[in-house]
Chain A
């Protein structure tokens, strides 16, 4: 699949969609563009998925291309590996972040390593997509931020859109990728609307994006935290602070150049993620920043993250998740050096 097509039924160049609908449109475009693209997962067919991301796709493309699978994640990934070897481009939906672990062995030990084992002869164009993160009043096992496990595993690429436009394009770019992509969808943002450019993607799958320009401090974030950071930056502006926000978009490979360019400019960096802090993705970013920008930094790299506990009951999640207040407190702290 070399050319990604816009949905045939629209000839407008922009459309306002929710993230869930944008992903649905992106999947539809990918299914239309290439017969070898298959979707399967638990309840994705007639139900359209728990979050309705695959709504009406089975009706349009038939049960041979959009399949309901048994409740067995290891089997889902394992069969995808086999089908990818035989020329298909499987797109597997796992229902929740916490459900990835029954498939963890297949992902990290088989999917990730096949190209390495075969000396590059076998490439696996598999997309494993699932909703991640909290903030929807759900519980643990349904609210985890698991990006570090996969970004840590050589052989996988890990991307996460933060807005409908990125959702629409990144899912198509991920499906076009010749190698495995872990595609993380911020579930608390599924119903947030945004303008989708239907003509062409603004950037490549593995490029970071400066989503708000500023000069005092850089917030580095991805997925669900981009909205939180943008809100924090807007609130900070009222307090006279100019906050830059970088949407990382691709955790592996990392577009460190874009991040470094921003931090060189501001000399202060704060990493914001939902995942727990200990050995979390922020640790890697902070380490790289201090290695490469030691003499640029005006303050230590700070992290605003989830706490080092299992994901809490929904009554506590508003306090557990990084929020505007915690981000702004970190901004204060960073500027205090």
Chain B
């Protein structure tokens, strides 16, 4: 015996009126034959039979209002009587449950959060957003809140940190999801700008002697299988100069209230890789002789170009070099990498007129000339130390033999 219960017509309706029976007791019905017409508050609906069999009993009369879930007709479908299991000895049986939302009825959405009141001047933001602001070095109080109930949203913080979000709707052109190295780079540079007080100094030098030295080194047996470039001597010059100016090989830890001076020079070399900008690190570069340093740089370049760098390869740096000269550019104002305190930018090495000699011997001759730029964190490095460091690097590159003095 099958009992057909009034199905939930949806739309939050809980009852319906029987307007017309289309079968009588004793009729044979098949699946999908229309049994009854009901009227809800919204419409007239015909209900089909879910089973085949003989109509035994109509349980409600035309004109009756029936609750959803109440039985309205019994059809003998050949199945045994409803299993006795539903007959609890206690209670009236399981509560019917709605499967559709009765919008206004039970729980108005007024439970949604109202305006938030809090101590005067306290910025409202989720923990997630507070953490992001801290990581990006953004002061929450300085951010214009556009989130719900006057809260600072993730997007507000990112905007304050200079991370642009293109609104997809307004864009002419195409968009690209921010992810991977691009995203990491954006977060790193934004955090660096927020964390360090950047000062950049420039020095234009005659680097002819270094060019000559590179040419001589290339002919030596030690460098037979290696690629020798001015970058090698820049790296060496940096290591030598850092030994005399340890504050440029240090980390400003404002939270702990201390400056950490690093024993080793872990030299980062910014590299344009297929994955984007990465700064692989040569660990202990200052402990290496020139051949070892050259090999390390060569290996790094190969690994980076092949996109095989592992996170360990680009973490733990203490000073970085970026080479904008390879693009033919004179110089730039590099951004300090991570927790480091200074960075050197190599410019292009070009033939330029250069004044040599003095007095009567003074003349203009063509020389190999380049501009060095060093950005440093003014929080722990004064103009004096930054300048002396840049001067030392310049000295080694313009007169390499003076490295003997270091």
The reply to whether A136 and B107 form a contact with Cβ atoms under 8 Å apart is no
**For the complex, is B112 an interface residue (Cβ under 8 Å from A)?**
yes
B69 to chain A, nearest CB (A): 11
**CB interface residues, A 32-76, toward B, < 8 Å:** 50-52
In the docked arrangement, what's the CA distance between A272 and B108, Å? 18
A-side contacts of B88, CB under 8 Å: 50-51, 136
The reply to whether B98 and A324 form a contact with Cβ atoms under 8 Å apart is yes
Contact among B93, B105, B131 for A136, CB-based, below 8 A: B93
The reply to whether B86 and A191 form a contact with Cβ atoms under 8 Å apart is yes
B400 to chain A, nearest CB (A): 51
In the docked arrangement, what's the CA distance between A239 and B103, Å? 12
Q: A188-B95, A297-B126 are in contact. List 9 more A-B contacts (CB 8 A).
A: A18-B83, A51-B89, A235-B99, A325-B103, A325-B106, A326-B106, A329-B107, A332-B111, A332-B112
The reply to whether A321 and B127 form a contact with Cβ atoms under 8 Å apart is no
Q: Known contacts being A138-B91, A296-B128, is A336 close to B148, with CB within 8 Å? A: yes
The residue among A228, A267, A328 with the most chain B CB atoms within 10 A of its own CB is A328
Q: Known contacts being A295-B128, A296-B128, A336-B148, is A324 close to B85, with CB within 8 Å? A: no
B-side contacts of A136, CB under 8 Å: 88, 90-95
A-side contacts of B84, CB under 8 Å: 52
The reply to whether B128 and A137 form a contact with Cβ atoms under 8 Å apart is no
16 CB-based A-B contacts, threshold 8 Å: A50-B90, A52-B84, A136-B92, A136-B93, A137-B91, A191-B86, A239-B101, A267-B128, A294-B127, A295-B128, A299-B126, A318-B95, A323-B98, A324-B101, A329-B107, A337-B148
Interface residues of A (CB under 8 A from B): 18, 20-21, 50-52, 96, 134-138, 142, 188-192, 227-228, 231, 234-235, 239, 267, 294-299, 314, 317-319, 321, 323-326, 328-330, 332-333, 336-337
Interface residues of B (CB under 8 A from A): 83-86, 88-95, 97-103, 105-109, 111-113, 126-128, 131, 148
In the docked arrangement, what's the CA distance between A227 and B98, Å? 11
Tell me the interface secondary structure of chain B in the complex. Answer: loop
The reply to whether A325 and B91 form a contact with Cβ atoms under 8 Å apart is no
The reply to whether B111 and A329 form a contact with Cβ atoms under 8 Å apart is yes
In the docked arrangement, what's the CA distance between A20 and B128, Å? 45
A96 to chain B, nearest CB (A): 8
The reply to whether A324 and B126 form a contact with Cβ atoms under 8 Å apart is no
Q: Which single residue of chain A is at the shortest CB-CB distance from B113?
A: A336
Q: Known contacts being A138-B91, A325-B98, is A297 close to B127, with CB within 8 Å? A: yes
In the docked arrangement, what's the CA distance between A295 and B88, Å? 48
The reply to whether A228 and B97 form a contact with Cβ atoms under 8 Å apart is yes
B-side contacts of A138, CB under 8 Å: 90-92
Q: Which single residue of chain B is at the shortest CB-CB distance from A317?
A: B95
A309 to chain B, nearest CB (A): 17
A239 to chain B, nearest CB (A): 8
A129 to chain B, nearest CB (A): 17
The reply to whether A329 and B99 form a contact with Cβ atoms under 8 Å apart is no
In the docked arrangement, what's the CA distance between A267 and B111, Å? 20
B-side contacts of A298, CB under 8 Å: 126, 128
Contact among B92, B99, B112, B128 for A336, CB-based, below 8 A: B112
The reply to whether A188 and B101 form a contact with Cβ atoms under 8 Å apart is no
A-side contacts of B111, CB under 8 Å: 329-330, 332-333
The reply to whether B113 and A333 form a contact with Cβ atoms under 8 Å apart is yes
In the docked arrangement, what's the CA distance between A239 and B99, Å? 13
In the docked arrangement, what's the CA distance between A20 and B93, Å? 14
Contact among A20, A317, A326 for B85, CB-based, below 8 A: A20
A-side contacts of B95, CB under 8 Å: 134-137, 188, 317-318, 321
The reply to whether A325 and B102 form a contact with Cβ atoms under 8 Å apart is yes
A-side contacts of B131, CB under 8 Å: 295
In the docked arrangement, what's the CA distance between A332 and B108, Å? 11
Q: Which single residue of chain B is at the shortest CB-CB distance from A228?
A: B97
The reply to whether A337 and B106 form a contact with Cβ atoms under 8 Å apart is no
10 closest A-B pairs by CB = A137-B92, A138-B91, A136-B91, A325-B106, A329-B107, A135-B95, A137-B91, A50-B89, A295-B131, A325-B107
A-side contacts of B94, CB under 8 Å: 135-136, 188-192
Q: Known contacts being A52-B85, A325-B98, is A297 close to B107, with CB within 8 Å? A: no
A243 to chain B, nearest CB (A): 13
In the docked arrangement, what's the CA distance between A134 and B97, Å? 13
The residue among A142, A235, A325 with the most chain B CB atoms within 10 A of its own CB is A325
B-side contacts of A234, CB under 8 Å: 99
The reply to whether A329 and B86 form a contact with Cβ atoms under 8 Å apart is no
The reply to whether A314 and B92 form a contact with Cβ atoms under 8 Å apart is yes
In the docked arrangement, what's the CA distance between A107 and B59, Å? 49
In the docked arrangement, what's the CA distance between A188 and B98, Å? 15
B-side contacts of A191, CB under 8 Å: 85-86, 94
A-side contacts of B113, CB under 8 Å: 333, 336-337
In the docked arrangement, what's the CA distance between A33 and B20, Å? 57
B-side contacts of A267, CB under 8 Å: 128
B-side contacts of A297, CB under 8 Å: 126-128
The reply to whether A231 and B91 form a contact with Cβ atoms under 8 Å apart is no
In the docked arrangement, what's the CA distance between A138 and B113, Å? 35
B138 to chain A, nearest CB (A): 16
A-side contacts of B92, CB under 8 Å: 136-138, 314
In the docked arrangement, what's the CA distance between A235 and B12, Å? 12
A-side contacts of B102, CB under 8 Å: 325
Q: Which single residue of chain B is at the shortest CB-CB distance from A294?
A: B127
The reply to whether B100 and A332 form a contact with Cβ atoms under 8 Å apart is no
The reply to whether A142 and B107 form a contact with Cβ atoms under 8 Å apart is no
The reply to whether A326 and B128 form a contact with Cβ atoms under 8 Å apart is no
Q: Which single residue of chain A is at the shortest CB-CB distance from B94?
A: A188
The residue among B85, B86, B89 with the most chain A CB atoms within 10 A of its own CB is B85
B14 to chain A, nearest CB (A): 11
A16 to chain B, nearest CB (A): 12
In the docked arrangement, what's the CA distance between A239 and B101, Å? 10
B149 to chain A, nearest CB (A): 9
A43 to chain B, nearest CB (A): 9
B112 to chain A, nearest CB (A): 5
A-side contacts of B128, CB under 8 Å: 267, 295-298
In the docked arrangement, what's the CA distance between A321 and B95, Å? 10
The reply to whether B97 and A231 form a contact with Cβ atoms under 8 Å apart is yes
Q: Which single residue of chain A is at the shortest CB-CB distance from B95?
A: A135
In the docked arrangement, what's the CA distance between A330 and B98, Å? 17
In the docked arrangement, what's the CA distance between A230 and B218, Å? 72
In the docked arrangement, what's the CA distance between A298 and B113, Å? 14
A-side contacts of B108, CB under 8 Å: 329
Q: Which single residue of chain B is at the shortest CB-CB distance from A319?
A: B106
The reply to whether A235 and B100 form a contact with Cβ atoms under 8 Å apart is yes
